[in-house]
């Protein structure tokens, strides 16, 4: 029996194919196997991708490590709802154990979410 396909062409279906057209679909195999990159090539490629999308440290924002750790803990549902409200680290602090450097966009999103959570929490009372 001839049936018209979506593209306007006619196809012949057997009774079995009409019942289950997906059953008889052929799987096309790639004519050539995929190349596997060597470890050095993979690392080089990863470095290029990272450099392309990384932001210079001079434009990153110092965020207090306590605030960031509390926020991560909240996101992982390991800590209570609100991280400490002070999120910026002291600009003159030379100790890298007290802060993390984040891109401005990431800080903007994290602060927006924190404010939204605070507002929702106050509306509940």
Q: Measure the CA–CA gap between 92 and 119, rounded to whole angstroms.
A: 32
> The tokens of 117 are what?
């959570």
Specify the pTM.
0.43
For residue 23, being part of any structural domain is answered with: no
13-17, 73-77, 98-102 — which is least confidently predicted? 13-17
Cβ count near 83 (within 10 Å): 22
Counting the structural domains of the chain, the total is: 1
By the 8 A CB rule, do 37 and 78 touch? no
Instruction: Output the CA–CA distances (angstroms, integers) from residue 105 to 2, 31, 60, 69, 120, in the order listed.
Output: 58, 44, 9, 18, 23
**46 within some domain:** no
Q: How far apart are CA 56 and CA 63, in angstroms?
A: 16
Q: Is residue 88 part of a domain?
A: yes
In a domain, 70, yes or no: yes
Name 88's Cβ contacts closer than 8 Å, sequence gap at least 6: 61, 62, 63, 64
Residue-range definition of the domain harbouring residue 77: 57-124
Instruction: Place 57 in a pLDDT band, splitting at 50, 70 and 90.
Output: low
**Would you say residue 96 lies in a domain?**
yes
The conformation of residue 60, written as its DSSP 8-state character, comes to: S
Mean pLDDT of 63-72: 80
């Amino acid at each position: 029996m001839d049936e018209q396909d979506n593209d306007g062409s006619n196809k012949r279906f057997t009774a079995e194919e009409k019942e289950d057209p997906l059953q008889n679909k052929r799987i096309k195999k790639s004519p050539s196997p995929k190349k596997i990159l060597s470890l050095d090539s993979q690392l080089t490629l990863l470095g290029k991708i990272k450099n392309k999308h990384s932001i210079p440290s001079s434009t990153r924002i110092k965020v207090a490590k306590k605030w960031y750790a509390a926020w991560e803990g909240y996101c992982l549902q390991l800590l209570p709802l609100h991280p400490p409200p002070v999120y910026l680290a002291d600009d003159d602090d030379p100790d890298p154990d007290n802060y993390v450097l984040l891109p401005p966009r990431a800080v903007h999103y994290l602060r927006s979410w924190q404010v939204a959570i605070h507002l929702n929490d106050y509306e509940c009372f």
